[in-house]
Amino acid sequence: MSTTRGVLISLVAAAVLSLSACGSGDNPSAPPATSASPASAPPTVRVVGPLTPADAQALATMNERVKEYVALHVKLERSLPKLPKEATPEQIDKNQRALAKLVLKARAAAKPGDIFTSEARPVIKRLCASVFGGPDGKQLKASIMDENPVTPAAIKLTVNSRYPDTVPLTTVPPQVLQTMPKLTEDLEYRFIGDWLILLDVHAHVIADFIEDVLPK
């Protein structure tokens, strides 16, 4: 009797294990996380190869200027009345123009190259040339120019000027964004014609620009 009971228990256990295995096939457990935390996640793969130490050092000068600009931007924006959560377009425009005036006053002596530094400019141009000189380069450039076929000189583009209301905001290809230094949410890369600009999103002003970034 004891032997028979032992056999039955073994058979039941085997059946349970079999059902469990089948169940795991139908409902597989979630795969383990690839990183313990976002901070340890692998860096974004660059489209245009790794930077040389000299290139990284050159772009670091721009990164410092970006930090300085953002700190000024935040300080000026905090001095304005806070927009309500359900702000109207009129309220947003008024706030935007008020911030733009403060930025213009604080950066009255600003000039091209203050953020896109002289060290960073040639590196950025070379990286963009690599992207637009690649297999999809012509298509990428055509998509930008189709959205924004303007000549910056014709609209007198300057540092601290308001982004032209008549010029649509272009879509910046991800291949370009992956080559550029990362920005905070306060600044964006945009193209106006063949110029690359840094746009202050909240003030809607041009913080800096580089001429003739797109290949002819």
Q: pLDDT tens digit string along 5-36?
A: 443 334 334 443 343 434 444 433 333 333 33
Asked whether residue 73 carries a pLDDT value surpassing 90, the answer given is yes
Q: Hey, what long-range contacts does 153-159 have (CB within 8 A, 24 or more apart)?
A: 155/192, 157/192, 157/195, 157/197, 157/206, 157/209, 158/206, 159/107, 159/110, 159/111, 159/112, 159/114, 159/206, 159/207, 159/208, 159/209
133 vs 61: which has the higher pLDDT: 61
The predicted model gives 179-203 an average pLDDT of: 91
pLDDT for residue 166: 84
- The predicted model scores a pTM of 0.74
pLDDT for residue 88: 93
> Of 215, 213, 216, nearest to 124 (Cα)?
213
